Structure 1
Amino acid sequence: MEKVGRFRSPRHYFGSGLVKTIEMHVFVDASQSAFASVVYWRITYEDGDVQVKFVCAKTKCAPMRTMTIPWLELQAAVLGMRLMDTVRQHHSVAIAETVLWTDSKTVLRWIGSTHRRYKQFVGNRVAEILESTKVAHWRWLPSADNVADDATRAQRSVDLSEESRWLRRPAFLRRPAGSWPGTAPTDEGDAEDEEEMPSEFVLVGASDPFISLQRFSSYRRLLRTTAWVLRFIRQCREQRDELENYGLSVAECEAAEDFPDEAFPDEMQPAEKGLDVAKRSDICGLAPYLYANGVLRAYGRIDAVLCIPYSARRPVILSHRHGLTGMIVRDAHVRMKHQNLDATMAEIRTRFWITRLRRELRSVISGCSECKLRPLPEDRLDANGWPFKSTGLDYFGPLLMTVARHQE
């Protein structure tokens, strides 16, 4: 509190020279605790001198409801856009250029994407951002150069002097624009995008290409295609096997099903270190651990039953939001001959543990054309038949029956 009381911020923006151009630079950042935005003027004088002046900043605490880091970074981008509009409204200076900086490539891909097939949370905020900014206004920079990072991280000693990084920097803005770090957003995106990649792509390896899910209507065809791609990658790396002279092996098909799920970013780090995930996590009760290629598997007491396959004892954990989930559930529904929920769920869990599986399976069954058109038994369609002419009864026991005022 004593440092805050001594805090002083110079409010004069311009020096004695003639101003050539004024640029506005907005930095945004987020963490699990807060998200923030800070605005600077970049003033270029006629003599070539460049000065960077602090304008204003705003910080908000993260919501009580748990949110992923990409969502919080998107919230920070919205905060920066709103702060930019406020500065424009309350200043009459002519702004030559506006640049908004973020260290989240996920947010840049959301903003720069051309198809914009997003969920409601992301879609609404991206639409609001694009109402006041253009895609070209946004750029990426490393976290070490992001000044807004100072407002979102807990620090024991805070430098509030007039020469601090918060008031005078970032230093790279005093250099020519060609030497600035980072890039502008593109539609290529990055693998960390948790909204777009699971709905369209399946990752077949840590450094391997993507396969579009939209080209496949069958999970089996997708699985075999992925297995062939993995074999091609191994052969390019000169990792050949004598058995690869023939068709696909069972091991290759099983390896094709080991794909990482980007829906659990907060669980990856504890699982990799062998620690327990947060109690609020959807997979807390599954004791997840990190398997090869970044795959999360479940672990439990059933692991002691060695007579069942390894995939059934330690199934791959998938989110119901994953793009492959619907294909896996539909494939199991067809292979199980359109049986009831429990039978199909038991079949799926021999390889995968899908969150909210019962709801997903009901959705698949409700949209199944064969289940809708399944005919009734012929004995129920007889005309002019007596009620209950044909009746089925499932017997189970023991049954208690009253005989002469006592039960047997």
Structure 2
Amino acid sequence: MKSLKTACEVFFWVDSTIVLYWLPSCPSRWKTFVANRVSTIQSTTGSCSWQHVLGESNPADLISRGVNPADIVNLEFWWIGPQWLSVSSYHWPRTVLPACDLSTMPESKGNVAMMSVAVAEPSLSARLFSRYSSFTKLRRSIAYWMRYLRSLRAAVQKTKPEPFESLSTPDLRDADLALCRIAQREMFSKELSKIRRNVISFQHR
């Protein structure tokens, strides 16, 4: 094909309908033997047209029909093919392939079963408790964070910020309550949701 100097329309013929199902498909969907050959044919023939030819019209079948190789050179059919090939392509036999599930073909890799595993995100309390080696360090860290948030709120509201000093007993108690609320929201989320719905329902009555 590469040696052709004149641009022309090229047709290929094959007497196997299953090959016509293979060729337009992605090579990776077929088993290795077929995939390699489909890939080679696709890269070699490009967008050329592939058509089906009946065995009786296929010169390549002469040997399988018992014709003596020595006699082939004298057969017109071997050199020019079927008679309809010498007329306009408009009169050639038309190839219409019925719909087919390619995954059911013998050379198909078939459907690959896929399994997805959902990995649960660690809860907030789990991340907090795993981050600190002791509850004392955790509660003091939470207390400082709460103080920092209060100072940010004071800056936004333009109010007097808290004086910077050591953590007090109320600070640590607030941290304990905050940790309890986090644990309650995670361990009793359904119960809390029902309580909130009841409160909202009661407020609207």
TM-score range, shorter chain: 0.3 to 0.5
TM-score (norm 1): 0.24
Higher helix share: 2
Higher RCO, 1 vs 2 (CA within 8 Å, ≥6 residues apart): 2
Q: Which has the larger radius of gyration?
A: 2
TM-score (norm 2): 0.44
